[in-house]
Structure 1
């Protein structure tokens, strides 16, 4: 068999394709790779998207500022001073993009306008925080990304 330019180019293409296919197969077989959907009930969440937009708009219109801060005890969420703590009802959801087993939701139970999520529940890294609450029957929504 005579080895010329055409044969060399053909063999290099075949080698490149085998190389890429090897890494594709390797990435799909790796147990560390997580191919799950972002949420299990994505369709229901999509249906309530307009409600979320309205609740976020309610928060923007009031001018209230939630103070979400990392402290030595954990994650502190402080509601505005003008709100009565006993009238605030809702949940705080923390979503970990890298591992769905770390996601959790906790009800809002305030002590003097502050909610503390203990440090033991949070690992270092990126978290998406979502605070949904009602105050005097009106819904509000706060969403943010943070690194703990």
Structure 2
């Protein structure tokens, strides 16, 4: 076999294509490089986005919004003091972007305008908190990225 420019170019193409195919197959098969969507029902959540915007605007119109603080016992979420705690309903969803196995949702049950999420439920790192709540028939939404 005579080695000339044409043979060299063909071998270079074959080597390059093999190199690219190796990385494509390696990235698709390795669980370390998971490319799943943020939520399972992404398109359904997209259609409900305007409803979320309306709820967030309702929350911004309050004189005082929800606040949170890290305590020795866990994450303490405080609702506005001017509201009657018996009429507040809803859910709190904590989402961990790096690990969906630790995501959880809990219903709102307040004591003295506060909701405590125990420390043992939360790992250190970044969390997205979403509080979807209602008061006297009006819906509110509080979303925040927190570092715990």
Task: List gaps (5 residues or longer) in structure 2.
Answer: none
State the alpha-carbon separation in 2 of the partners of residues 71 and 23 from structure 1. Answer: 46
Residue 25, structure 1, aligned to residue 25, structure 2: yes
Residue 65, structure 1, aligned to residue 65, structure 2: yes
Q: Secondary structure at the match of 2:24?
A: helix
What does residue 146 of structure 1 align with? 146
What does residue 115 of structure 2 align with? 115
- Per the TM alignment, residue 111 of structure 1 is displaced from its structure 2 partner at its CA by 1.0
Q: List aligned pairs for 1:1-148, cutoff 5 A.
A: 1-4=1-4, 7-148=7-148
Please provide the CA RMSD for this pair.
2.0
- Per the TM alignment, residue 110 of structure 1 is displaced from its structure 2 partner at its CA by 0.8
The 4+ residue runs of structure 1 with deviation greater than 6 A are: none
Provide the aligned length of Structure 1 versus Structure 2: 148
Task: List gaps (5 residues or longer) in structure 1.
Answer: none
Answer with 96-105 or 36-45: which moved more. Answer: 36-45
- Per the TM alignment, residue 6 of structure 1 is displaced from its structure 2 partner at its CA by 5.5
State the alpha-carbon separation in 1 of the partners of residues 5 and 71 from structure 2. Answer: 65
Going from structure 1 to structure 2, the CA distance change for 1:10 and 1:63 (only over 3 Å counts) comes to farther
Q: TM-score, normalised by structure 1?
A: 0.86
- Per the TM alignment, residue 20 of structure 1 is displaced from its structure 2 partner at its CA by 2.2
Q: Secondary structure at the match of 1:63?
A: coil
Q: Secondary structure at the match of 2:33?
A: coil
State the alpha-carbon separation in 1 of the partners of residues 70 and 3 from structure 2. Answer: 66
State the alpha-carbon separation in 2 of the partners of residues 70 and 110 from structure 1. Answer: 17
